[in-house]
Amino acid sequence: MLIIYFAISFAALAMLCHVIWKLGSAIGDCPQAERAAKVAAMTILTGFAMIASALVTFIAAGLLFAMDNSYSVLFLAIGGAMMVLGLGFTQAAAMLREVVYKAINPDPKPAAPISDLAEGKPA
């Protein structure tokens, strides 16, 4: 049962890592964001893969405690892993989009500190 869990979870992880890499490559075709997109994609991909692998392994450890040879526990673990992977992928894609946006549209002046705004000073 644990082999089925790992096979499905790590196949999904590999697929999502491939999609992140392809997103970074596709966005990297834009001349304005080329370097930022490729570096961000590799960094985000590495972080996503490590965190997701750890979470899949933690869920597997919980699966070992709950094993009673019932497939309902297996499906619960697979569902949890897919949920975690999906949330991580969403965060990775948003981070990649933010890095590329900032590379294309650099902020001309820094924002005013929150303490100045709280005191009523103009921004």
Burial 104-121 (b: 16+ CB within 10 A, else e): eeeeeeeeeeeeeeeeee
Give me the residue spans of the domains in the chain.
Answer: 2-104
Tell me the torsion sign for CA atoms 82, 85, 91, 94. Answer: negative
Rounded (10°) angle between helices 34-66 and 71-104: 160
C-alpha 76: how far from chain center: 22
Give the model confidence (pLDDT) of 75-98 as tens digits. 888 888 898 888 889 988 888 888
Residues of the chain with pLDDT under 50: none
Q: Which of 88, 83, 106 is nearest to 36 (CA)?
A: 106
